[in-house]
Structure 1
Amino acid sequence: MRVVVLGGTEFIGRRVVERLVERGDEVVVVHRGRTEPDDLPRCAHLHVDRRDFAEVADRVRGFGPDAVVDSYALTRADADAVLPHLPDVPLVLLSSVDVYRAWELLLADDDTPLPVPLTENAPLRQGRRPYQGRGVGLDDYDKLDVEPAYLARGGSVLRLGMVYGRHDQQRREEFVLRRVRAGRTRIPVGAGDALLTRLHVDDAASAVLAALDQPAAASGEVFNLGESVTYPVRGWLRLILNAAGHDAELVRVPDERVPEDLWLTRRLAQHVLVDNGKALRALGWQPTDPTTAVARSVRWHLDHPPTDASADFSADDQALAG
């Protein structure tokens, strides 16, 4: 299979490219050229800013792709810049469970009852630009502006849970691992009872391949992707500690005393738990058991610690002292 991957040099897109090359597919990665690690698999690259995609459209069509994977369409402008120039082949878009109303309620700390797990037909966000003004550089981001254009082209939309694993720029486990590296044996946490669907990057990549391999089943469809077993946040912390071989006590403290980087352990207003049954049935996709997946991720992150990890645990000490 010949596959064009848009934005395939970091985290999820990178793992998709690796999996495609490993199985013998011919791949062209289209990206800005700002990130091109030495250990990327050998394949062709086209360097262009997404907004200037028209400049390489002839080369993309000349490659004769059988499919296109878009791993980094964040705004409607991102979709508009590429879709008119793509050949009529199966498309796979990486989206997010943050399109759901439940995510909006979580961010707003609104405890309006909303049942889970969420199927693909669950209510979507009522508002737009979920991260605008939050200081994370995603003011214009909104997958709800992106999905319709791909679905209109018969594309497949994969709504990913909270993705973790090797090369994760957000380092999802770091709030625990920095305490592991410091030898902390008591960690102040809140209730830790929220259910938030997670997904290992390897499973995200395998779902992309499943959608590519079964275009008839995937075309024009939306799929939730997440682990089949979701541990509450406190249980997830315990999985991380066990994988790191570190014995630490999770000490319950009032939410107002929970250190800021442990905010996920506070009592959250809304669960964001998705039903992955459609992907299992239609695509034959199967995610890894979270115990195995978390252990794989933790080992990689312990071997590749961040260079800017904070060694300040004064907030922990204050919380534990009461």
Structure 2
Amino acid sequence: MRVLIVGGTGLISTAIVQQLLERGDRVTLYNRGVTARRFEGDVEVIAGDRWKYAEFEREMRQRTFDAVIDMVAFAPENADSLLRAFSGRAGHLVVCSTVCVYGGPLTRSPATDDEPHRPVTKYGQNKSRIESTLLAANGQSGLKTTILRPSFTTGEGHTALGALYFDDSMADRARRGLPLVVHDDGATPWAIAHVSDVARGFVNALGNDKAYGQAYHLTSDEHTTWGGVFAALQEAAGGKSPVVSIPTDWLYEVAPRRMVGVKFIYQYGSIFDNGKAARDLGFRTTVPLVETFRRQIAWSERAGTYRRADEEPLQDVLLDAFTRGQRPAPGQVHDVNPWGNEPES
């Protein structure tokens, strides 16, 4: 199968590429060439910026593909460009969306694929509009479309639980027995999937006629709570840390960029029914959460991204201020958000 991936070097993309190559597909990537690749094997790379729509669409008009996976569609205009680029030139268009299209709290748990869309973040709102555009286009000009919705997905390529507070020292704190901050009481239901399992869902969707015009969850079958997540991290790291509960609202008040995910995503239960994907795509998750964290810790040590607790004072500053009933002093919190460096409004 001739497969184009728009993106192709991110966390989930890397696992998808590796699995496609292992089964013998011909893979082409379209990206800016900024992120180093972490997969083994030969792929064709087209250098370009998909946000430069005229250039992107002109390049794609010269080619045909059996399937296209777009991993980096973040704006409604991206969806319009995809349709102009691939209508009549690709058999199947698969787009990575997100469970953030639902917002929170969910109306039921586990939530099914027809959960109402009530997104509260710009990210979720844009993804919801992208979904609507592409699903409405299914069957037009010979193009079939599918939407896939991962939830919290991690693995080699990211540090263990680093995305929670943008704090890459989480594993080291657990290893050394240092206190760990959990938002609220840690009882919120949660699930984290290993990237290889989620990638397999994408691969199994390609050219699958059951998937045409459909949307699916690709989330973990292992359901726990945030308290369970922290317990799994400690087991993987080989330490035992006290877990200290701090209210979401206080965390967001003192560090709105660091805590944007906690405020708008992680404070809400995130358990999803994968039954539809299991039926149509043969989807199931196989890597337990403890093993996921073990692999991440080992990868980060090899890759040089493992960060010691004394290099990241965030949680110590938060714990000290909260215990004293005060806000951190000005400048104590390095309040940064790699997702865009702005709190949601």
TM-score interval w.r.t. the shorter chain?
0.7 to 0.9
Inter-partner Cα distance in structure 2 for 1:39 and 1:89: 26
Q: 1:192 aligns with which of 186, 202, 218?
A: 186
Contact 1:177–1:302 (8 Å) recurs in 2: no
In structure 2, the residue matched to 1:96 is 98
Amino acid at match of 1:2: R
Change (3 A) 1:210 1:255: closer
Inter-partner Cα distance in structure 2 for 1:11 and 1:38: 9
SS in 2 for 1:142: helix
In structure 2, the residue matched to 1:146 is 130
Contact 2:169–2:312 (8 Å) recurs in 1: no
Q: What residue ranges of structure 2 are gaps of 5+ in the alignment?
A: 139-143, 326-345
Q: How does 1:48-63 map to 2 (within 5 A)?
A: 48-50=48-50, 51=53, 52-61=55-64
In structure 2, the residue matched to 1:204 is 198
CA drift at 1:157? 0.7
Q: How does 1:1-322 map to 2 (within 5 A)?
A: 1-37=1-37, 41-50=41-50, 51=53, 52-61=55-64, 65-86=65-86, 87-100=89-102, 103=103, 105=104, 114-125=107-118, 130-131=121-122, 142-151=126-135, 152-153=137-138, 154-168=144-158, 171-172=162-163, 174=168, 176-180=170-174, 183-189=176-182, 190-212=184-206, 215-252=208-245, 264=262, 270-288=268-286, 289-304=288-303, 305=305, 310-312=312-314, 313-319=316-322
Inter-partner Cα distance in structure 1 for 2:248 and 2:280: 41
CA drift at 1:58? 3.4
User: For 1:268-304, what per-residue CA distance to the aligned partner results, in whole angstroms no more than 9, with x for missing partners?
Assistant: 7632221111111121111123333333233323444
Stretch moving more, 81-90 or 311-320: 311-320
Change (3 A) 1:36 1:301: closer
In structure 2, the residue matched to 1:135 is none
Stretch moving more, 165-174 or 5-14: 165-174
CA drift at 1:144? 1.1
User: For 1:90-124, what per-residue CA distance to the aligned partner results, in whole angstroms no more than 9, with x for missing partners?
Assistant: 12111100011xx2x35xxxxxx832211111111
CA drift at 1:38? 7.1
Change (3 A) 1:160 1:39: closer
SS in 1 for 2:162: coil
TM-score using structure 1 length: 0.81
Inter-partner Cα distance in structure 2 for 1:202 and 1:148: 27
SS in 1 for 2:61: helix
Inter-partner Cα distance in structure 1 for 2:266 and 2:78: 32
Stretch moving more, 23-32 or 188-197: 188-197
TM-score using structure 2 length: 0.76
CA drift at 1:141? 6.6
Q: Percent identity?
A: 26
Stretch moving more, 286-295 or 65-74: 286-295
Change (3 A) 1:188 1:171: closer
Amino acid at match of 2:239: H
Q: What residue ranges of structure 1 are gaps of 5+ in the alignment?
A: 107-112, 132-137
Stretch moving more, 270-279 or 140-149: 140-149
Contact 1:99–1:125 (8 Å) recurs in 2: yes
CA drift at 1:243? 0.6
Amino acid at match of 1:172: A
Inter-partner Cα distance in structure 2 for 1:178 and 1:123: 39
User: For 1:23-49, what per-residue CA distance to the aligned partner results, in whole angstroms no more than 9, with x for missing partners?
Assistant: 221101011222243766321011121
User: For 1:234-270, what per-residue CA distance to the aligned partner results, in whole angstroms no more than 9, with x for missing partners?
Assistant: 11011011111122122446667768568859x9763
In structure 2, the residue matched to 1:110 is none
Contact 1:157–1:222 (8 Å) recurs in 2: yes
CA drift at 1:314? 2.8
Contact 1:114–1:270 (8 Å) recurs in 2: no
Inter-partner Cα distance in structure 1 for 2:63 and 2:71: 16
Inter-partner Cα distance in structure 2 for 1:5 and 1:94: 11
Inter-partner Cα distance in structure 1 for 2:188 and 2:101: 18
